[in-house]
Amino acid sequence: MAVAVICEFNPFHNGHAYFLNRVRRTVGEPVIAVMSGSFTQRGEVAVCSKFDRARAALRGGADLVVELPAVRAVSSAQRFAEGGAAVAAGFDCVTSLAFGCETDDLTLLKTASDAADDGAVRAIVSRLMAEGEYYPRALQKAAGVVFGEAVAAALSSPNNILAAEYLRALRGTDIRPVAIRRVGAAHDSSSPSDGFASASHIRELIRNGDEASAFMPGKVEEPARPERLECALLYRLRTMSAAELAELPEVSEGLENRIAAAVLKYNSIEEILSAVKTKRYTHARLRRILTYALLGITEELQARTPSYARVLGFTEAGAALLKSFRGEVVTSVAAAMRSDSPNRDFLAKDILATDVAALAYDRILPCSADYLTKIAKENYAE
């Protein structure tokens, strides 16, 4: 038996080590980490490679690290959660899904997860969005009206929002949710607390060349920088028509025309984002849309459900867990891409994401890391 966690580990830090330790003590089973690859849910390149992050996770308490496919790793909270849960549910050995959040009150989180599907809530959300409100804020307000302020407060935290989506994604499965209350610095906080710092603060330290060793067990020698991808992204946007933009996930209601007009007028990504942004469209959503454009992720592809486990690393205990996966286990990208696998379209995006991320370093990295990098092994006797 095993417990799954859906994660980014961007980078792996003290809070993640604490979380994995708590998961082990709470559940008492080996840990499978379903981890984002080269890009993350906020539509940004990861600060270091998925291979380095997988090794850090194994040293920090995970037994098996498999990749959350790029088409779902860069997506809305709902599709991110659905994608991770689908990979976890593919393992017959997985009995639990653990996640970190601001509250460990599963009853409250369950109510929050039900709110998005409640008819009265949806009616209020529709009205608020027609008035220009963006979806997360509209949902929070509507849930408060229908279910009370405690539920609204729960939906104000990104970690709780993801937790609610995990609960939705687990419907119809036998997988038990396990909520682990976060400790230390708050999400996206710039103020460390008791040896813990938020991942965003740690990334800022790393990219500024400042010392971050107090907050993470390892070290990022050379970070990836999102701004290094600006020219590649501008090129991609300038070669896309409004019709092609309309095929991207999360693009609706003529948003493609706003983006296309801004691309013609402005010469930087920040200017384009500022021109396109309205009260209704969050900055994170717009950044994801631009990343969809960069990687060629269409709504048609993202709406499909991958059925493979791309192995990034394992311990001896973790290697045994792979036998319980019902779908395709990918230990060789080259072999999978030569086959007639139904997952080739998804794997191709994983490979592309890594090759594009290689452009984000001060010293541009070579292509084909997905083909050439060996699976990480810790405490494993060959």
- pLDDT tens per residue, range 102-135: 988 999 999 999 998 999 999 999 998 888 888 8
175, 56: one domain: yes
Establish if 290 belongs to a structural domain: yes
Q: Return per-residue pLDDT of the chain as tens, 382 residues.
A: 999 999 999 999 999 999 999 999 999 999 999 999 999 999 999 999 999 999 999 999 999 999 999 999 999 999 999 999 999 999 999 999 999 999 889 999 999 999 989 999 999 999 988 888 888 889 999 999 999 999 989 998 889 999 999 999 999 999 999 999 987 656 656 667 778 899 999 999 999 999 999 999 989 989 999 999 999 999 999 999 999 999 999 999 899 999 999 999 999 999 999 999 887 888 899 999 999 999 999 999 999 999 999 999 999 999 999 999 999 999 999 999 999 999 999 999 999 999 999 999 999 999 999 999 999 999 755 5
Q: Which residue's entry shows tokens 């599907």?
A: 117
Establish if 157 belongs to a structural domain: no
Chain mean position to CA 209: 25
Establish if 162 belongs to a structural domain: no
What integer pLDDT is reported at residue 241 of this predicted model? 97
Establish if 319 belongs to a structural domain: yes
Question: Containing domain of residue 127, as a range?
Answer: 108-152
Establish if 382 belongs to a structural domain: no
Establish if 159 belongs to a structural domain: no
Q: Which residue's entry shows tokens 């604490």?
A: 18
Q: What is the largest CA-CA distance in the chain?
A: 61
Please tell me the total number of residues recorded for the chain in this structure: 382
Burial of residue 7 (CB within 10 Å: 0-12, 13-18, 19+) is buried
221, 252: one domain: no
Helix residue ranges, H only, 213-298: 230-238, 242-245, 255-265, 269-276, 283-295
What is the number of structural domains in the chain?
Answer: 3
183, 314: one domain: yes
Strand pairing class (308-314; 64-68):
antiparallel
What is the chain's Cα-based Rg?
20
Query: What are the strands, taking DSSP E only, across the chain?
Result: 2-7, 31-36, 64-68, 94-101, 176-181, 308-314, 328-330, 376-377
Helix (H) or strand (E) holding 158: helix 158-169
94, 216: one domain: yes
93, 125: one domain: no
Whether 347 and 70 have beta carbons less than 8 Å apart is answered as no
